[in-house]
Chains A and B, each alone.
Chain A
Amino acid sequence: MTLPAPIDLEQWFKANVEDFLVLIPTSVSPQPVHVLNGFLHTVFSGRRSPKTAVDFVAARAGGVWAVSNQELRVRSPLSLPKDDLKLDKARRAIASLIAADRAVFPSFASFQVAHPGLITSDATHLRIGELAARLTLASKDGEGLLQSLLDRLVEPQPNPHWAIEKVLSDPDVLTNVIVEPPSDLDWWADVPGLEKLATDLTDLQIRALRLAVDSRDSLLGLEVLAISATWTALLVYAQVASLTVEGKVAPLLVEAGEPGSLPSVRATSAEVINLLDARFQEFLVKELQTEVNDRFPDDSTPGETAVAYLLECNNTVKKLSGGTVLNAAQVAEIYGMWSHDYTSREAIARTLQECLTSAMGNKARDWFAAVGRHCGFVGPRRGHPARLRVEVSLVPALVLAGIEDADGPVVPFKVWADRLANKFGVVFGPHVVARSMVNRAAENELEANQQALVDLLTSLGLARRFSDGVTEILNPLFSWVKND
């Protein structure tokens, strides 16, 4: 029997997962600082030349400047202190403001962008910035808002970061910069059944962008934009797979308050990460199944033929750091196991998924946990178990996610919380979504968890709490907006 053409798993993964989801769930590197830089790099044209800034603040391991003071004075177009002590002091102070997220290195750098002159071509965002860009530009308002953001950030802003980044920028770098949408792509947002999620995430990005354009303070707007974009990638990973496999959003119970103080909430929110991983693996199986069905017209492939085919496919997969390429015996054993319960085509698809997952350097659940920790959606910072948590830096993005365009200055907490649950599956307290979870948290703990969230929102000035437990969310699009 002639075997069908093998599936190049690496290429398949790139086209059907990375390109389709517009994220690379096999890396643990992306942080919000990379994502914001990647987002701005994707949407704005122009050359990137932040060499002056990189030379000024980049350090090598051990804290030694990548470019010595002496060399810096020669290379830099800036007028700098002649005294080494003073120059060191200036470099340390400036690094602590614009490179504190430890993403600036001599070879690649992402600054905490406050001025567009410091946008770089660093690809460490690993497509999350591109995902945010595509969602933003899917809105009719996206392009105009991006142009407004650029216009705003070119003008002097009343914060120290802008002035520092301005002086470190190439003077001509922003000449003729325009909004430049990325090229077309077949991606999840166009798939029937996923449009609503795409629209809701686009709305979130647009609101974050609007905040960056219209809020009194550009720094805060950019921070919210960076966190929203990063969080969006996590929601895409979680809910695209879930909607594709189950036809509904996955319930995401998020722990608030003191870590571990509510044991059943802790256990359930930890279980969510396992659930999402399982859904993602099922998503891979489902997509691979389509590919296998195309190649095998019927379900009567003999076992030896299937294994031979699988081995050919397995040869196409590249082992990434930390991953393992399965050997022939393992492939045969796995196929044998699956073929007990599934048809030959299904068993092939499931075995291919295992080949693929095994070879991944970083498993998708590790990616989710790492990126989640960076944007404040997964905790604890160190230790186990990884679980969904809300940390302070995520809160403004979370608030925006539950706001709608027609809202006024305040939104009742319940309305806001219901929207988060219905749109994104995100729940904190007693809600039908939380009650539908297999590993269900205790009702009194859900109440306490919701109260912890209310306390957090109130402490941050993003909510008002009245008697009888009534809480109102303050709409940042009103409270942070410029008066002029």
Chain B
Amino acid sequence: MVEETEAASRSDLRQLFEQGAVYADRWTSEVRTALDVRDPLAEVVASALAARKSVILAGNAGDGKSHLAQVALDRMSTRSCFEVTQQTPAPDPVPADALLFIRDASSLSDDAVLSAAAAARAAGAPLLMTINEGPLTSLAHKDTSGFFARIRTVLHDRAMGEVVEDEDEFLILNLAGRQLTRSVFVVGALARLLPVVTPCTTCAKSNTCPRVVGAKMLKKSKRAQERLESLLQLLSDGGQHISAREIWVFLIELFFGWTCPPGGTEVERARGYFWMRVFEGESRLAADIAAEFDPITVPMAREDVYIWQGEFEKIRSDASYPGTRPSVVARTSPTDGRIAFASAKRCFFFFGRDLNVESILARRSLAPQFGKILERAGQDARPVIREMVGVINSYRLRHDTENDLWVSRHHGFAAQRRPTGLGASAKVSIEGLRLRLPHSDEGALYPGAGFFPTELFLCWEDSTQSLLIDFATWERLQNERTLTVDRHQETLDFALDLFLSQAPVVATADPEIHVYDHRRREATTLRIRPEDHKIEVIS
């Protein structure tokens, strides 16, 4: 009986994956259970509801709000749950021991949501609701009680890196702050998906279908699973928020998106292995990964020779490469030879035992380095502030100091011309600066749930004007400032101008002015003495 249920469930899952249907709202309870990846937040939500707190789950579409709500509800045993829908409004009065559930606030009118929330509050019953920012904005505007405005304030403050505690009466979780590549989600999803991978329709029951072969190899190799995860993390370190649904779509596409061409050659079928589809698949994430990194572009003198010659056994690997020798294929078709080489090398990237993938990724992309900066910023902000101050000083004035931020300014108005001279007459100690890390609050409260920033804000102690440092900004700050038409640098320059304009500095009677002329690459230090009508050149 149990086996039958499991078999039926597997069949359901296969069908679901073949269709790419990853909308949790439409899953049956069995499917949801089968696909549930352990999430520490489920217990957090269930506990809060049990303690009669209302729970608001916010985030982008696909972040897993509905799934989390449903999983948490599944854990609630005794309480009666009323789901408020367009057809079934909240009962009047709400029983005190009940729980009101709004699966998706955007599916109801604002009035219906406000009325349900008011009814729950009046009865002292908890409300569980998933909501996007758009409807929340509208509700906050209309709600005279201030309940939704408070929720919105908490969400926004945390998204900007402020530490805000939940109020006694509700718990707010913003799933948009999670980078699931930094949780167990990817490996957990693979554990659900890999066992149900079947051959494509062309291969029918053949176990040599690249879908099945790749899935079996990946299932057995924890190392390969972690490397797949690290490729996704490369994107989130680079600033992309990857939703749960996007990860599911990506993984499903790896194993269910391929159909072997009838009568296809081995090289043609090679494109169906997951390690090829990671870089060549049709999902957005595959394209993004390929743009950021591809192992075939990494030169490895010895391994490349082995791979080309097909001496796969000479490379220590978790699994044997199932394809043919590239050099042999290349004798009849150089193009096919290159495809065979790409397949073997990408396979080696996932399964090779002696590869230091972390180091390879760090050499090919700056994103992991930025990810590490974000990690360090969460632990101790000061060294990161110093590092940021160092790159700003170097970018603007060619100064190498890291302990003080030079308030370098220009006063050019022309939009079509980059300012050549930047001058600073004051500097601010790094003690006057602080970092704000979005969702750091949730990261500390719910370790392991994946809350992690994709950017940071450099702020003055007493000004709301901040400098947004995301991966792209940080990357540009490493480069030399030019005077050519470069809109990215112009944006960075202007952002720095706006930020530095708010520096807490005071005028001095006879300032020492540090000027860097970016056209001549000339640094000059002047002393201006207005009272003495004097200009001195110090250096």
Using a CB–CB distance below 8 Å, which chain A residues touch chain B? 31-33, 36, 77-81, 83, 86-87, 89-90, 92-98, 100-102, 112, 114, 155-164, 166-167, 171, 215-217, 219-220, 222-223, 226-227, 258-259, 373-377, 381, 391-396, 409, 412, 456, 458-462, 464, 466-470, 472, 474, 478-480, 483
Please state if B501 and A216 are interface contacts (CB–CB under 8 Å).
yes
Further pairs besides A90-B537, A479-B464: 14, Cβ < 8 Å: A31-B413, A32-B414, A96-B517, A100-B420, A160-B511, A161-B409, A163-B511, A217-B501, A223-B411, A227-B413, A393-B415, A396-B498, A459-B491, A467-B58
Complex: how many Å from CA A167 to CA B536?
Answer: 12
Please state if A93 and B526 are interface contacts (CB–CB under 8 Å).
yes
**Mask: chain B, 497-539; 1 = CB below 8 Å from A; 0 = not:** 1110110011111110101010110101010111011111100
Please state if A81 and B411 are interface contacts (CB–CB under 8 Å).
no
Complex: how many Å from CA A383 to CA B468?
Answer: 32
Please state if A460 and B491 are interface contacts (CB–CB under 8 Å).
yes
Please state if B468 and A459 are interface contacts (CB–CB under 8 Å).
yes
Chain B residues near A102: list those with CB within 8 A.
417
Instruction: List 8 A–B pairs whose Cβ atoms lie within 8 Å, in order of A's numbering.
Output: A100-B410, A101-B413, A164-B528, A377-B415, A396-B498, A459-B495, A470-B133, A479-B502
Please state if A97 and B528 are interface contacts (CB–CB under 8 Å).
no
**B159 interface contact, C-beta 8 A:** yes
Complex: how many Å from CA A98 to CA B421?
Answer: 9
Question: Given the interface contacts A90-B535, A101-B417, does A163 sit within 8 Å of B513 by beta carbon?
Answer: yes
Please state if A156 and B134 are interface contacts (CB–CB under 8 Å).
no
Please state if A464 and B465 are interface contacts (CB–CB under 8 Å).
no
Complex: how many Å from CA A94 to CA B517?
Answer: 10
Please state if A483 and B462 are interface contacts (CB–CB under 8 Å).
yes
Chain B residues near A226: list those with CB within 8 A.
413
Please state if A467 and B133 are interface contacts (CB–CB under 8 Å).
yes
Complex: how many Å from CA A243 to CA B419?
Answer: 37
**B466 interface contact, C-beta 8 A:** yes
Please state if B468 and A479 are interface contacts (CB–CB under 8 Å).
no
Complex: how many Å from CA A443 to CA B282?
Answer: 25
What's the minimum C-beta distance from B460 to chain A, rounded to whole angstroms?
Answer: 10
Please state if A32 and B413 are interface contacts (CB–CB under 8 Å).
yes
What's the minimum C-beta distance from A377 to chain B, rounded to whole angstroms?
Answer: 8
What's the minimum C-beta distance from B356 to chain A, rounded to whole angstroms?
Answer: 34
**Mask: chain B, 401-423; 1 = CB below 8 Å from A; 0 = not:** 00000010111111111011101
What's the minimum C-beta distance from A432 to chain B, rounded to whole angstroms?
Answer: 19
**B156 interface contact, C-beta 8 A:** yes
What's the minimum C-beta distance from A445 to chain B, rounded to whole angstroms?
Answer: 18
Chain B residues near A216: list those with CB within 8 A.
463, 501-502
Complex: how many Å from CA A96 to CA B409?
Answer: 11
Please state if A461 and B465 are interface contacts (CB–CB under 8 Å).
yes
Complex: how many Å from CA A393 to CA B517?
Answer: 20
Complex: how many Å from CA A381 to CA B417?
Answer: 9
Please state if B519 and A96 are interface contacts (CB–CB under 8 Å).
yes
Chain B residues near A409: list those with CB within 8 A.
464
Complex: how many Å from CA A83 to CA B537?
Answer: 10
Complex: how many Å from CA A403 to CA B17?
Answer: 49
Complex: how many Å from CA A159 to CA B414?
Answer: 19
Q: B412, B511, B519: which has the most chain A beta carbons within 10 Å?
A: B412
Please state if A80 and B535 are interface contacts (CB–CB under 8 Å).
yes
Chain A residues near B492: list those with CB within 8 A.
459
- Name the CB-closest residue of A to B58: A467
Contact of B160 among A33, A36, A86, A464 (CB under 8 A): A464
Chain B residues near A258: list those with CB within 8 A.
487
Complex: how many Å from CA A394 to CA B522?
Answer: 29
Using a CB–CB distance below 8 Å, which chain B residues touch chain A? 58-61, 63, 132-134, 137, 155-156, 159-160, 174, 176, 407, 409-417, 419-421, 423-426, 462-468, 473, 485, 487, 490-495, 497-499, 501-502, 505-511, 513, 515, 517, 519-520, 522, 524, 526, 528-530, 532-537
Please state if B415 and A96 are interface contacts (CB–CB under 8 Å).
no
Please state if A220 and B501 are interface contacts (CB–CB under 8 Å).
yes
Contact of B413 among A36, A462, A469, A470 (CB under 8 A): A36
Please state if A461 and B413 are interface contacts (CB–CB under 8 Å).
no
Complex: how many Å from CA A419 to CA B354?
Answer: 60
Rank and list the top 4 A-B pairs by shortest CB-CB distance, nearest first.
A96-B421, A376-B415, A467-B176, A156-B507
Complex: how many Å from CA A374 to CA B417?
Answer: 8
Please state if A392 and B463 are interface contacts (CB–CB under 8 Å).
no
- Name the CB-closest residue of A to B417: A101
Q: A81, A395, A396, A470: which has the most chain B beta carbons within 10 Å?
A: A470
Contact of B134 among A87, A393, A470 (CB under 8 A): A470
What's the minimum C-beta distance from B15 to chain A, rounded to whole angstroms?
Answer: 31
Contact of B415 among A95, A373, A480, A483 (CB under 8 A): A373
Please state if A100 and B473 are interface contacts (CB–CB under 8 Å).
no
Please state if A90 and B524 are interface contacts (CB–CB under 8 Å).
yes
Complex: how many Å from CA A206 to CA B528?
Answer: 33
Question: Given the interface contacts A89-B522, A461-B499, does A78 sit within 8 Å of B132 by beta carbon?
Answer: no
- Name the CB-closest residue of B to A76: B533
Complex: how many Å from CA A93 to CA B160?
Answer: 39
Q: A163, A391, A478: which has the most chain B beta carbons within 10 Å?
A: A163
Chain A residues near B419: list those with CB within 8 A.
100
What's the minimum C-beta distance from B532 to chain A, rounded to whole angstroms?
Answer: 7
Question: Given the interface contacts A163-B528, A470-B133, A480-B502, does A93 sit within 8 Å of B533 by beta carbon?
Answer: no
Complex: how many Å from CA A466 to CA B58?
Answer: 11
What's the minimum C-beta distance from A421 to chain B, rounded to whole angstroms?
Answer: 19
Complex: how many Å from CA A298 to CA B112?
Answer: 68
What's the minimum C-beta distance from B238 to chain A, rounded to whole angstroms?
Answer: 15
Complex: how many Å from CA A203 to CA B355?
Answer: 64
What's the minimum C-beta distance from B57 to chain A, rounded to whole angstroms?
Answer: 12
Complex: how many Å from CA A156 to CA B498?
Answer: 20
- Name the CB-closest residue of B to A475: B464
Contact of A167 among B61, B485, B517, B528 (CB under 8 A): B528
Please state if B411 and A97 are interface contacts (CB–CB under 8 Å).
yes
- Name the CB-closest residue of B to A230: B413
Contact of B534 among A36, A79, A217, A220 (CB under 8 A): A79
Chain A residues near B490: list those with CB within 8 A.
391-392
Chain B residues near A97: list those with CB within 8 A.
410-411, 421, 423, 515
Please state if B425 and A159 are interface contacts (CB–CB under 8 Å).
yes
Please state if A220 and B410 are interface contacts (CB–CB under 8 Å).
no
Chain A residues near B494: list those with CB within 8 A.
392-393, 395, 460
